[in-house]
Chain A
Amino acid sequence: MKRRGPVVLLPLAACTLTTSASGLEPLHVAGEPVRIEITEAASLLVNGDNRDSRPNQVSSLANDDWTMFYNRLNLQASSGRWQLSLRIDSAWFPASPDPTAIGLELVETRPRPLPPGAEEDPAYFRAKVKEAGTELSNRYIDWTYPAKYSLGYITPELEVTVGDVYAQLGRGLVLSVRKYDELSSDTTVRGGRVTARFGGGPGRLKVTALGGTMNPLRIDEASGRYLSVDDGVASGVAALTEAGMPRPAAGDDRAIELGYLAPATPTYAPDRLAAAQLEGTARGLKLGTQASLLDRQPALSPDLVRSSHRIVTASQSLELADLARHGNVYAEAAVQRLAVTGADDVTGHALYGSATLIADPVSVVAEAKHYRSFFPLLANVDVSRAREFSIVQYSAPPTTEAFWVDTEFEGFNTCVSGGRARANLQLKRQVSVFAWAGRYHTWAELAPNPTCETRDELLNRVWDLAVGTELGFQNRRSRAALTVGARSDDSAEPFATSFGPSTVYYRENYARYDVIAWLGGPFSLQLQGWHRRRYQALGRADDPWFEGFHLTGLEWSPHLSLAFGAEYDTNPQTPDTYFNAQVVVRPTTATSIALFAGQRRGTLRCVGGVCRVFPAFEGARLDLTARF
């Protein structure tokens, strides 16, 4: 099953220093010009000791000392109304951790004296080697596979695509499959989509239907882990859509018996989805009806959503795109029914609304939500063996918070009421100030609350406040944005902490800034940072801690960027400081080469409420991107 794709693709990567992004010379097929564009993105990641090691813990040692060559080759061809695209991903691991070395290191660092009842070193060593074998059984394995492919026929009235398609229906309550570069996540529906448009005057109608099996990205570059399917979970249509996708690493039966490797079991069971949307627009009013049906196999990691063999979600939306040039309004109401295997069905609902009001020099954006037992559509992933993929989901109910907020803990957004309003005051042409206030009541943060009981003992009340300014200078060649904010999260009733009962659940004060100062000619200086003082009663340090980063960058546009970063985290669970440097060279408009060297702290990164934990990084990373 091992494929040496990267070796084949290396020459391609090496010859990508192209002079422009104009694409290859057009070919002609049946008299039609064919435009071909190739994008090559190659990354070499050299991971050292990321300093997250803990005594007796295999998983943190398995994060150290590995090298990955990760290649993404995109081919796109278009001719008239036809579009063809193919993305082939390859991962090759020239170096990776060794179970025996992990076992030996754990013996060497084993805290002594041994606790009562502890096994002697040989048994301890053997157990840790086996555990490491399991941990590594789906990491650092070479793969080349067709990550995405599609063939489309596009006219103004009709779009037909076969293969991988992205989709968002409404504001993401019903369906949202998309790419999150920041989270190394890229999910599509592998099947087909048809969109038809009717009417060209004031009244228009758009009908979209799509279906297929869900196709998350299979290789996680942050951990070197991959998602696998086997024939047991990829039968029927999935046998076709999963052709060529990574399979479980099949180990020798006796080796498995001895515990060196986990059995070759899949870590992903492809979910089947059908969805449709009907959108009608007349006189600035847009009405949308959308629904999705998620049909799936027995859960690889049982939980309420993954154990639901069928989830139906439907919504009705209304949008007024222009309120007499004074703003716009959007509202969406959704219902969701989970048919849970082995438990009672769960029915939930969601209401979401947003409004923008403009009365110069003031503008206000307000968003509100009211969710009851309304869940994101989580992928059927074995999170015990592929925890990095636990974030794969096919919907993204709006949070109404700033997109980078990472403090909606546990099931916060599944049983919540609240909203946020942001007011912007334009003082001068290049000077504005803003402030926002968010207020939320959630009943699913202190404890899982799938039935969304709104009792006080489950209630947390949250304030999220911020003020800031956006400034422009030198005809906007220089600009600055500064935000200072605070968040307080209190439970309605005291809960148990390690230092007694408390109602203080979470506190944060922070400052964010992004300053670009034009230095003259093609040169500019960038200062960027986010500094936080945090306190969390459960789950982290007993005392408040500080964490954040500062980045100083110098830009010689468009040829060169230099950046130096410093990060810190005073939480006792982590090292205190991290330093790094990055250089980006753009020899041509179509080519860039980036080198990062140094350390990054492990962190929770969120985009619009979709979050994942990134392990700390220490080492170097070289990225080459070229289009031709």
Chain B
Amino acid sequence: MGSPLETTFLRPFVAAARARWLPLALPLTLACGSGTPDIPEELLATEPTASPSTYPPGPYLSEVGSTLENFSFSGWRDPVAAGFDPSALEVIRMSDFYDPAGARGLELLLVNTAAIWCQACRVEHRTLPERRAELRARGFEVLSGLFQDASADPADIQDLQTWVEQFEIDFPMVLDPEFQLGKYGSAEAAPINLLVDVRSMRIIERFVGDQEAVMWPLIESELERRSAP
């Protein structure tokens, strides 16, 4: 890749930026560059921008302190209540948890990735429903995305159904077969846990692996800080 500013990939972008053509920079960068493949026209649609009233605006970076991207998934808000019924699947978005004024009674969201091949994910999900139940009244919520099956292929609805039944999941759990949450950590690093402030949807901390010894004390202290007068 070379030094980033010198890559063919970014060269058109940098040129555009210098010429104050920033709005054109993204498609230009994608489309041009001697070492970069051409982009088919149909993939160059403009990036939609979120309305600040429904979700905080970007940029949506992957680092701690960034705003979580408003992903959209298919899943259950409460798999137990839905009877693990595939016909009861619904679209769940990150914006469903955005709570700028506290109207939903939420404070913190734990965004979690899981895969069937991932032992640490299984271990984590054995206690996650119980942990979430203990803290739910204090404004804590979990959203978990199952992204791969035992063979590391994209998870499907049957995998999700087996998973939520096995661990009796009663918090929002979704399918993420396209691994949108891969933005925050590679598949090999699963589980990834992002602790998110639902007032701003900013990522407070990112944990790689099942790091219960430090993650739960942080969640406790964040909830305590928020409930302090």
Contacts and interface: CB of A to CB of B under 8 A. Distances in A.
B129 interface: no
Given A116-B74, A307-B214, A59 B182 contact: yes
Contacts of A118: 178
B133 interface: no
B10 A255 contact: yes
Interface of A: 1-2, 54-60, 93, 96-101, 104, 107, 110-111, 115-127, 129-131, 134-137, 139-142, 249-252, 254-263, 265, 301-304, 307, 340, 342-344, 346, 383-384, 387, 409-410, 446-448, 450-451, 496, 498, 538-542, 572-573, 613
Contact of A252 (B13, B154, B211, B214): B13
A137 to B, nearest CB: 7
Contact of A124 (B44, B61, B123, B178): B178
A303 B150 contact: no
Contacts of B221: 342
Given A122-B45, A263-B63, A342 B217 contact: yes
A142 B3 contact: yes
A101 B33 CA distance: 12
A321 B59 CA distance: 64
Interface of B: 1-6, 9-10, 13-14, 17, 22, 25-26, 29-30, 33, 35-37, 39, 42-45, 47-48, 58-63, 72-74, 89, 91-92, 116-120, 122-123, 126, 148, 150-154, 156, 162, 166-167, 175, 177-180, 182-189, 192, 205-215, 217-218, 221
Given A303-B209, A538-B119, A254 B22 contact: yes
A302 B177 contact: no
Scoring B63, B120, B148, B178 by chain A CB atoms within 10 A of each residue's CB, the highest score goes to: B178
Contacts of A116: 74, 89, 91
Contact of A56 (B35, B58, B150, B178): B178
Given A98-B37, A257-B59, A384-B206, 10 more contacts: A98-B9, A99-B9, A100-B30, A107-B43, A122-B44, A250-B4, A254-B13, A302-B214, A346-B213, A447-B126
Contact of A251 (B5, B167, B213): B5
Contact of A115 (B6, B62, B63, B178): B178
Contacts of A129: 30
A498 B162 contact: yes
B119 A303 contact: no
Nearest to A542: B150
Contacts of B73: 117
CB-based closest 8 A-B pairs: A122-B45, A2-B3, A539-B119, A59-B186, A116-B74, A117-B74, A343-B217, A538-B119
Contacts of A110: 178
Scoring B26, B91, B118, B214 by chain A CB atoms within 10 A of each residue's CB, the highest score goes to: B214
Nearest to A303: B211
Given A302-B214, A307-B214, A613-B188, A56 B120 contact: no
A115 B59 contact: no
B213 A304 contact: yes
Contacts of A542: 150
Contacts of A447: 123, 126, 210
Contacts of A572: 151
Given A56-B177, A131-B183, A384-B189, A540 B117 contact: yes
A252 B39 CA distance: 22
Contacts of B61: 256-257, 259, 262-263
Contact of A101 (B10, B37, B43, B205): B37
Contacts of A496: 122, 126, 166-167
Given A254-B22, A258-B25, A54 B212 contact: no
A593 to B, nearest CB: 28
Nearest to A254: B17
Contacts of B58: 257
A141 B3 contact: yes
Nearest to A248: B4
A140 B1 contact: yes
Contacts of A448: 120, 123, 210-213
Nearest to B192: A384
Contacts of A450: 212-213
Nearest to B89: A116
A260 B13 contact: yes
Nearest to A66: B1
B213 A303 contact: yes
A302 B210 contact: no
A344 B72 CA distance: 38
B43 A304 contact: no
Contact of B182 (A58, A136, A263, A301): A58
A394 to B, nearest CB: 20
A344 B217 CA distance: 9
12 contacts: A93-B2, A115-B74, A116-B89, A129-B30, A255-B10, A259-B60, A263-B61, A303-B214, A340-B214, A342-B218, A447-B210, A540-B150
A57 B182 contact: yes
A136 B3 CA distance: 11
Nearest to B215: A302
Given A1-B3, A93-B2, A539-B119, A255 B37 contact: no
Contacts of A99: 9
Contact of B29 (A57, A97, A260): A260
B101 to A, nearest CB: 27
A392 to B, nearest CB: 14
B43 A121 contact: yes
Nearest to A497: B122
Contacts of A249: 3-4
Contacts of B17: 252, 254-255
Contact of B152 (A251, A252, A342, A573): A573
Contacts of A613: 188
Contacts of A254: 13, 17, 22, 25
B166 A387 contact: no
Given A340-B214, A539-B119, A383 B178 contact: no
Contacts of A97: 1
